[in-house]
């Protein structure tokens, strides 16, 4: 273990000073990070995440296209039902208005 991670030795004739709880936590955390097993586990986790980046990108693109297709189907169905008079024009506007407000409002909030 490196010398800078070890707590200082108290003099023999004095009681060891009581450190704060945060000092003890920081010291324990430094010891944990200093272990070889933890460093190796962190390295493996980082490498696994780096390998998943292209897969995550592909998944997000597929999710985006599925969202657009679903949205167009919902809008198309509502407009079609309104045009062929299955639902009244007021109901059609009542359904389309909140949906458009939600989708465009969410995008502008980002």
Q: Which tokens hold the place of 73?
A: 């189907």
Average pLDDT (79-96) is 91
pTM score: 0.47
pLDDT at 80: 93
pLDDT at 8: 61
110 exposed, middle or buried (CB, 10 Å; 0-12, 13-18, 19+)?
A: exposed
The residue count of the chain comes to: 110
The residue ranking higher by pLDDT, 84 or 102, is 84
pLDDT in tens, 37-57: 888 888 898 888 888 787 778
pLDDT in tens, 2-16: 555 666 665 565 555
pLDDT at 42: 87
**Local structure of 54: helix, strand or coil:** helix
Mean pLDDT computed over every residue of the chain: 81
């Amino acid at each position: 273990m490196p010398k800078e991670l070890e707590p200082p030795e108290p003099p023999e004739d004095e009681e060891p000073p009581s450190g704060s709880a945060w000092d003890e936590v920081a010291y324990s955390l430094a010891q944990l990070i200093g272990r070889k097993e933890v460093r190796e586990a962190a390295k493996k986790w980082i490498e696994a995440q780096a390998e998943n980046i292209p897969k995550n990108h592909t998944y997000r693109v597929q999710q985006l296209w599925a969202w657009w297709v679903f949205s167009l189907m919902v809008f198309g169905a509502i407009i079609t039902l309104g045009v062929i008079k299955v639902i009244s024009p007021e109901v059609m506007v009542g359904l389309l208005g909140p949906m458009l407000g939600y989708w465009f409002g969410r995008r502008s909030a980002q």
